[in-house]
Each structure stands twice: as C-alpha cells, then as structure tokens.
Amino acid sequence: METLVAAYLAAGVVVSTYATWMALQNHRLARRLAELQALPPEQASDRPAHIQAA
C-alpha cells in the first residue's frame, strides 16, 4: 500500500514542482519583458546607475 502511495506521490511531486517552476519563470519573464518594452532605449540598460552615469 505504501508503495502505491509512494508511486503516485512521486508523480505528483515531480509534476507540481515542474509546473510551479514554470509558473515562477513565466512570472519573472513576463515582468522583465514588460519592463524592457516599456523603457525608452537610452534607459534600458542592465548596468547599475553609478556606472551608467560615468
């Protein structure tokens, strides 16, 4: 009986971990995409402000 539960639990854990990871990635990517598309070209840089100003 434990074997049965272990098998389905393993499947559930694998699938939900993968799905959650993808959801978090999606969240991060969608936000980053919105940021990049919203900014005007001169300001859209990854360099920190103090280097950018130099």
Partner 1 sequence: MRNSTFTGLPPMHLAVGGLVLGLVLTAILLIFCVAPTEATMGDVQRIVYLHISVAWCGLLGCLGMGACGALYVARRNLDWDHRSQAAAEVGWLCATLTLVTGSLWAHEAWGVWWTWEPRLTASLVLWLIFAGIFLVRAGINEPHRRARIGAVLAILGLGDLPLVVMATRWFRGVHPVSPEMDQQMRLILLAAVVSFTVLFAFLAWQRQRQLGLAEQVAELESHADAV
Measured on CA atoms in the order 44, 50, 53, 54, is the torsion positive or negative? negative
The sign of the CA dihedral 43, 44, 49, 53 is: negative
Per CB under 8 A, does 9 bind partner 1?
Answer: no
Q: Which of 38, 41, 49, 51 binds partner 1 (CB under 8 A)?
A: 41
**What SS3 state is found at 1?**
coil
Q: Is residue 54 a contact point for partner 1 (CB under 8 A)?
A: no
What does the binding site for partner 1 look like in residue numbers (CB under 8 A)?
1, 3-4, 6-8, 10-11, 14-15, 18-19, 22-23, 25-27, 29-33, 36-37, 39, 41-42, 44-47
